[in-house]
Amino acid sequence: MMSSGGYTSIDNQKVSGSVPAVSGPDHVTVKFTDSNLQTFPPSEAQGKISAVFRPPSDADDTFSKPSRGSSDESQPAGWVHKFTVGAYKPYFDVDTSDVLERVRDSLFPFKGSFTEKTAENPDLYGPFWICTTLIFVAAAIGTFVTYLAHKLEKKEWNYDINLVTWSAGLFYGYVTFVPLGLYIILKYFSAPSGLVQLWCLYGYSLFVFIPALCLSIVPVEIFRWVIVGVAGFLSATFVALNLRTHIKSAGERWFFIVAGIFLLQLALAVILKLYVFTVTVGAD
């Protein structure tokens, strides 16, 4: 029929005028534009994405060690940088194996090679936790010993919070200000040493007092003096031998400086013994 043929021609004209004719519903061809989804990140920078991945400037990377030579634009310049957290980030980036090795070296002080091993990478992580552990160990051991002494004598016992505050002031103060004073003295005698390296050395030198305090639970006064004396000798020898070679460059007075370092470390052991266990003498 012409009518059907006419309709067919009209439909073809309408279809060809609106969309391209296709061969059939099963042969639809869709063409996409080229993309770079196969590579990430894309080779060309777009927006804030660049070819080299960089974390955002406000990322919390407090304990990550920055690469040498890299600059952080968000950090203040000059002496103000010394009072920021970012200035001390590299000194807390150590592995457990590094800390354990340095602790082991502190227990064998006659090697005198600690400063050489830590010259390129001194840390403050180990000294901080050693001092913190000493604070609570000294307070706990002292409290436990006084508790046993009062129980044996059938007396009323009260916890002394001053043991914690005193221990915190002793250990944190000693590790902070004694190396700082030594740093000034060595600089005066033209034998300067790194301040962070001195903090690291003195911090690890106190580790030997942790097992010494634990052994001081034994209620024998002579035994306690022997334990604290041995710990003080090992700690003093560790510091003195590791600084001896460096301090020799200060001239003829190097011996007096090393002797002062040794005696000051022994004095710390004596003060620790007298204060923590003075209240238990009556139990011995």
143-164 tens-digit pLDDT: 887 777 777 777 777 777 777 8
Which long-range contacts does 94-102 make (Cβ < 8 Å, 24+ apart)?
A: 94/121, 94/123, 94/125, 94/126, 98/123, 99/123, 99/125, 99/126, 102/126, 102/204
pLDDT tier for residue 78 given thresholds of 50, 70 and 90 = low
CA atoms within 13 A on the CB side of 189: 19
**Which residue type occupies 143?**
T
Query: Which DSSP string do the residues of 109-163 spell out, in sequence order?
Result: GGG--HHHHTSS---SHHHHHHHHHHHHHHHHHHHHHHHHHHHHTT------THH
Beta-bridge mates of residue 49: 46
Best CA proximity match to 145, nearest among 240, 275, 249: 275
**Which residue type occupies 170?**
L
E-assigned strand segments in 152-276:
none
Radius of gyration of the chain (CA): 35
Q: How buried is residue 281: exposed, middle or buried, by Cβ count under 10 Å (0-12/13-18/19+)?
A: exposed
What mean pLDDT is reported for the chain?
Answer: 74
Best CA proximity match to 228, nearest among 264, 168, 271: 271
Query: How far apart are the C-alpha atoms of 284 and 282, rounded to whole Å?
Result: 6
Query: How far apart are the C-alpha atoms of 8 and 10, rounded to whole Å?
Result: 5
Residue 192 tokens, joined:
């300067």
Query: How far apart are the C-alpha atoms of 107 and 234, rounded to whole Å?
Result: 7
Residues contacting residue 101 through CB under 8 Å, at least 6 positions apart: 117
- pLDDT value of position 26: 53
- pLDDT value of position 120: 86
pTM check: above 0.85: no
On the question of pLDDT at 31 being above 60, the answer is: no
Q: Which of 6-10, 114-118, 153-157, 171-175 has the lowest mean pLDDT?
A: 6-10
Angle value at C-alpha 185, between 102 and 131, nearest 5 degrees: 35
- pLDDT value of position 68: 40
pLDDT tier for residue 82 given thresholds of 50, 70 and 90 = low
More confident residue, 141 or 227: 227
Start-to-end CA distance of the chain, whole Å, equals 127
